[in-house]
Structure 1
Amino acid sequence: MQLMPVSLTYFLEVARTGAVSEAAQNLRIAPSAISRQIAKLESGVGVPLFIRNPRGMTLTDAGSRLLAHARRSEAESSELLSELRTGSGTDVRTITVACSEGFARRLVPQAMAVFRRDHPDVTFQLDRVPHQEATRRVAEGIADVAVTYAMGPQHDVRVECAAVVPMSAIVPPGHQLAGRERVGLAELCGYPLSLAPTGTTQRDLFDIGVQLEGLTVRPALVCDAMASKYEFVRSGGGIALVGDLGDLHPDPTAEGVVYVPLDHPVFRRREAQVQTMLGRRLPWAATQFVGSLVSLLRPSAPAR
């Protein structure tokens, strides 16, 4: 059941897919029905919402603004329907969190466990996804909140809190770097390295730093799984990089590794962010959980 007008429902699907034919297939209706509703919607608002081209349909500026409104309406309609069907009001909530792997290892699950001590009727759904996907899910109302890494301003979501996250190298006990207070990028690159895949914020910044330093690096392992990186290091395969927030164990000896801070200004470009949908009024439980995450991410900083 949909609480939104049919025209907005069709508009959302065309905006998601970029094509009337694909939207029609997903909605199981005739393409002509979608085209009529889109034309009716454009006539009603008085401006084009899509640019038609042979490869599909792209949003105009007006269409992008309407899309943001439609996404908020869809998310709030879904929440209201859930409440009406369960008769639960605000007492029972499911909070969906999308986050990148580093945060899914410790910080977010720990925050969920602490939150449920005071709110045992809250159910969490945790989706571990790449950082761009976490942001997309919040922007489209699929997730209530994202905890992820980002570089630069974010225009499609509200950033509730942001903190620069230093980087560390993880080395096995007894390694030449194990007793160091910090290590430079050039020295680090003298050892076999386990690096994140190209396209991740960590790897992009590492590659920028290497280029600035005029270094040449051939990684020993390219991997996006934290558990595999730790095992690679413990087994003597080389050194891996991790963020100083969410990835690190409070007792490194329990992981069988040593953390050595990495000293290079390029990594200050990356932020850990708590993100929510622009303009959306979150349910009470989700709002409270966002506050808990903000306090963990940057205890002294207000939400922004």
Structure 2
Amino acid sequence: MVQQRIDQGITEHRLAYLYEVALQGGIRAAAESVGVNPSAISRQIALLERHLQIPLLEKQGRNVAVTQAGKLLIEHHREMLYRRRQLAETLQDMRHLRRGSVSLRVGQGMISEFVEGPLQQFSADYPDVFVDIHSGNMSETINMMLRGKVDMAISFGPLGDPPVMVRSFNRGPICAIVPPHHTLAGLEAITLEILASQRLIFMAEQFGIQQYINEMFSSHHLAPLPAYQCNHFSTAIALAISGLGIAFMTRQSARPLVDRGDIVAIPVEHPLSHTATCHLIRSQGRRFTPAAEHLWKVLASSMQSQSAGKR
């Protein structure tokens, strides 16, 4: 009877609420994330605690922390989500006669290199695997990865210390992007002071390269106002090619456009420019399908080769 009563109290939506509270660090943030009233989450977790007769959350200042019992329930819920996703993928593979699927998120500035290099190799090795490709900001990507909605990600920029497995590779230098006819096109390198006096093209704040640009200017006590701000690299590059302003890319990302003669890439004189890194990311402890594991290895090998080739 006791076991039956406990089982009945551990419902899926209560576990989902507890999981969200742990992920977001508080009930209010969890409620905003799932689009419900905070009282609904508090009520369901309280009912779960009453059924189990054990606390699942404890207050720590303005935030809440998950107890050991809560962590056990969250791990159970995470495993359920993972198994459900694997089941859905298997059923989808059977329906569409595929041999698996891989989902990943790629930073906008790295998509061309990913498609022309690692993806071509992977598609030749696994021609029947469905590849789901999206781009988005880092916090959103990490959130989706922890939820089991994305297998891996390629990103650029400051990363912090997220609860994921990370392999990092040198990506610098960051370059100022101008058309060949620009008055600065002949420079071997360019200072932040010169850049601050120009019409600049910035990316949205969530882009890794913009975070590097902001940090470099800030270290020189400069705060230039951009002439343009974009949320797509293609827009920024189109503006730069047209001579309407100076955009920013790494030399590696800019290489195809440089080789075609569309732009000139001038390295920015700053230590951060030359130590900028890109990252290959996956969830800790996540079991990949053979196809996903192969793509991970192809990406790691490609990024390592590119990083070593710059030395």
Shorter-normalised TM range: 0.7 to 0.9
Instruction: Evaluate the alpha carbon distance shift between residue 37 and residue 255 of structure 1 in structure 2; reply closer, same or farther with a 3 A threshold.
Output: farther
Q: Which residue of structure 1 aligns with residue 296 of structure 2?
A: 290
Distance 2:157 2:103 in 1: 20
Maintained 8 Å contact 1:91/1:121? yes
Measured in 1, the distance between the counterparts of 2:202 and 2:242 equals 16
When structure 1 is superposed on structure 2, of 62-71 and 199-208 the one drifting more is 62-71
Percent identical residues: 20
Q: Which residue of 1 aligns with 2:56?
A: 48
Residue 212 in structure 1 maps to residue 249 in structure 2: no
Partner of 2:15: 11
Unaligned runs of 5+ in 2: 1-8, 22-26
- 1:118 maps to which residue? 125
Q: Quick one: structure 1 residues 275 and 186, their matched pair in 2 at CA, closer, same or farther if it must change by over 3 Å?
A: same
Instruction: Return closer, same or farther for 1:262/1:68 CA change in 2, 3 Å cut-off.
Output: farther
Amino acid at match of 2:226: P
The verdict on how the C-alpha distance between 1:112 and 1:257 changes in structure 2, with shifts beyond 3 A counting, is same
- 2:40 pairs with 1:36: no
Q: How far apart are the structure 1 equivalents of 2:298 and 2:170? A: 15
Q: Deviations over 1:23-81 (max 9, x none)?
A: 6969xx9996665345546x4xx55246499x9x8442644686466435422432134
- The answer (yes or no) to whether the contact 1:145–1:274 under 8 Å persists in 2 is yes
User: What is the TM-score normalised by the length of structure 1?
Assistant: 0.79
Counterpart in the other structure of 2:5: none
Indicate conservation of the 8 Å contact 1:7/1:38, yes or no.
Answer: no
Q: Decide whether aligned partners of structure 1 residues 207 and 109 sit closer, same or farther in structure 2, where only a CA change above 3 A counts.
A: same
Q: If the length of structure 2 is used for normalisation, what is the TM-score?
A: 0.77
Give the direction of change, closer, same or farther, for the CA distance of 1:276–1:30 in structure 2 (3 Å limit).
Answer: closer
Q: Provide closer, same or farther for how the CA distance between residues 9 and 81 of structure 1 changes in structure 2, counting only shifts above 3 A.
A: farther
Cα distance in 2, alignment partners of residues 117 and 213 from structure 1: 47
The structure whose residues are more often strand, as a share, is 1
- What are the within-5 Å matches in structure 2 for residues 135-284 of structure 1? 135-245=142-252, 247-252=253-258, 254=260, 256-267=262-273, 270-284=276-290
1:185–1:146 Cα change, 3 Å: same
Provide the C-alpha distance between the structure 2 equivalents of 1:98 and 1:300, rounded to a whole number of angstroms: 20
Contact preservation (8 Å) 2:168, 2:279:
yes
**The 10-residue stretch of structure 1 (228-237 or 266-275) with the greater mean CA deviation from structure 2:** 266-275
Could you say what secondary structure the match of 1:248 adopts? helix
Q: Does the CA-based 8 Å contact 2:18-2:74 persist in structure 1?
A: no
CA contact (8 A) 1:183 1:260 kept: yes
- Report the Cα offset of residue 242 of structure 1: 1.2
- Which letter maps to 1:240? A
Summarize the Cα distance change of 1:234–1:76 in structure 2 as closer, same or farther, 3 Å threshold.
same
The question of whether the paired residues in 2 share the 8 Å contact of 1:161 and 1:294 is answered with no
- State the Cα distance separating 1:234 from its structure 2 match: 1.6
| Matched length | 288
* Alpha-carbon displacement from aligned partner over 1:182-218 (angstroms, at most 9, x marks no partner): 2222222221110122343322332222222132412
Check whether the contact 1:144–1:276 (CA below 8 A) recurs between aligned residues.
yes
Higher helix share: 2
The unaligned stretches of length 5 or more in structure 1 are none
What amino acid maps onto 1:163 in structure 2? N
Q: Secondary structure at the match of 1:173?
A: coil
CA 1:228–1:61: 2 relative to 1, 3 Å: farther
Range with greater deviation from structure 2 (232-241 or 269-278): 269-278
Partner Cα distance (1:222, 1:119) in 2: 39
**Per-residue CA distance 1:228-278 (angstroms, 9 max, x = gap):** 111111221111011334x32424253721111222113456421111111
| Separation in 1, partners of 2:306, 2:245 | 36
SS of the equivalent of 1:299 reads: helix
The Cα RMSD (Å) is: 3.6
Q: Secondary structure at the match of 2:119?
A: helix
* Greater RCO structure (CA 8 Å; 6+ sep): 1
Report the AA paired with residue 119 of structure 1.
Y
Between the aligned partners of 1:128 and 1:24, the Cα distance in structure 2 is 23
Instruction: Quote the Cα distance in structure 1 between the aligned partners of 2:261 and 2:288.
Output: 37
